């Protein structure tokens, strides 16, 4: 799996653990025809903590620090900067982070409800996920790429090409898997973090 150049721990670890190195990509930052945002909402800024689902380090807390135009994990030297390392767009209450991968984009979806931040992604290993995606956008808008272009070999990438925002919204509703849920650390703002 190709991860973004400066992907913080929360994106890299979760995507690798969950998808098992099978990329799910889109032709452009999603959703199409929505403007790119240069910052997170002020209500998202701060320090968040979580127990990562499905990783080798199960049970270990993960710290996420969200600032106006960047995110990083606690102890990470690298930051993910909006506009440089990822594209942020809005779809209703959700924020869609698109990470460039060659000529396509991987997508992570986040939604805040009070002091809870839920992160979701497209997981091809989830039971029935590929069939759900195909039923949602149609077989002609989805391409499965196998290693060495041999259908008998391991799946390498799934390319999803929704024709409009309506299809993308349906994919979000029917075809994403929860990666991790963060809870806001009370009394600690984004600028209070080490």
- Give pTM, 2 decimals: 0.81
Look up tokens 């029935």; give the residue: 128
pLDDT band at 148; cut points 50, 70, 90: confident
Q: Which of 139, 144, 145, 138 is nearest to 170 (CA)?
A: 138
Q: Which of 5, 2, 6, 9 is nearest to 24 (CA)?
A: 2
Given a cut of 70, whether residue 58 has pLDDT beyond it is no
DSSP at 16: H
| pLDDT score, position 88 | 97
Given a cut of 80, whether residue 9 has pLDDT beyond it is no
Q: State how far the Cα of 106 lies from the Cα of 183, in Å rounded to an integer.
A: 24
Given a cut of 50, whether residue 5 has pLDDT beyond it is no
| pLDDT score, position 41 | 95
Enter the tokens of residue 31: 């959703």
Given a cut of 60, whether residue 73 has pLDDT beyond it is yes
Q: Which of 45, 38, 41, 40 is nearest to 83 (CA)?
A: 38
**Span 84-130, pLDDT tens digits:** 999 999 999 999 999 998 899 999 999 999 999 999 999 998 999 99
Distance, first Cα to last Cα, the chain: 30
pLDDT band at 191; cut points 50, 70, 90: low
**Span 152-184, pLDDT tens digits:** 778 889 999 999 999 999 999 999 999 889 999
**Span 14-55, pLDDT tens digits:** 444 444 578 999 999 999 999 999 999 999 999 999 865 554
């Amino acid at each position: 799996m190709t991860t973004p150049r400066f992907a913080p721990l929360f994106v890299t670890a979760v995507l690798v653990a969950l998808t098992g190195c099978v990329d799910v990509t889109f032709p452009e930052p999603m959703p199409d025809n929505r403007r790119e945002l240069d910052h997170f909402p002020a209500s998202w800024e701060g320090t968040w903590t979580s127990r990562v689902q499905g990783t080798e380090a199960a049970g270990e807390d993960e710290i996420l620090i969200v600032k106006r135009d960047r995110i990083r994990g606690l102890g990470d030297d690298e930051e993910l900067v909006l506009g440089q390392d990822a594209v942020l767009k809005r779809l209703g209450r959700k924020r869609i982070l698109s990470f460039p991968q060659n000529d396509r984009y991987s997508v992570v979806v986040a939604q805040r409800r009070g002091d809870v931040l839920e992160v979701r992604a497209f997981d091809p290993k989830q039971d029935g996920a590929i069939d759900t995606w195909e039923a949602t956008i149609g077989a002609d808008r989805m391409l499965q790429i196998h290693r060495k272009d041999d259908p008998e070999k391991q799946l390498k990438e799934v390319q999803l090409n929704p024709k409009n925002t309506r299809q993308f919204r349906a994919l979000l509703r029917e075809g994403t898997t929860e990666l991790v849920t963060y809870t806001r650390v009370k009394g600690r703002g984004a600028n209070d973090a080490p």
